[in-house]
Structure 1
């Protein structure tokens, strides 16, 4: 899951305007990246401090995440929780603008995710999306 459009070289949070930016302190770091067969495969480490969220977004390709620590609460565009993922659990996110979502750390422990992105070559980690009308994010 990406959290914003990132600068690919540094893996840091970009400064471009977002419809719903991630909270301060949400960070991502590229651990590994390769382009194979027109796809960018990128492994990132994402940190969400307690009480933060990723901002509303979607991805141009699927991604697969492992929760290393904490508990990630995941919400879809209907504002419904579509998953709660404690440490040791896997989650996947489908691609496309029909899959707008937000990840939130509602706990008191930092959430750390290892995320594999499988994106069309040159795509950003995520596409910004406006809050669909939820009382959070």
Structure 2
């Protein structure tokens, strides 16, 4: 799990580096109907909260339910246009560093703990972290692409 946590930490830093490619003054600009850097950051913060809640629930309960969320509703319902980028960015850094520390203290058996989908399929903590980490990687690439266009 050490390698998985190393990637988790590296991907946090790569996300921050990708955002740094976009000057503050351009972070609210969207091109071609795509999300602005600010929207990407708000979305990533909101989803990191969801992922962290899953990890903590899984670690604190026996085989809890895996509840899905509709991230497509967030931009309007959570007012991405009116939110402060610095607060969402602080949430990402805080949540991911906290979870890295927490996950780094787990026993190897903890990584095999499960949550159950409504359809009866299970997901291990290891798989949840891997999937969530892939999410930030995709948004890192989105930020890099946006930076190249701005």
TM (norm. structure 1) is: 0.24
> If each structure's helix is expressed as a fraction of its own residues, which one has the higher value?
2
The structure number with the bigger radius of gyration is 2
Q: Larger relative CO (CA 8 A, sep 6+): 1 or 2?
A: 2
> If each structure's strand is expressed as a fraction of its own residues, which one has the higher value?
1
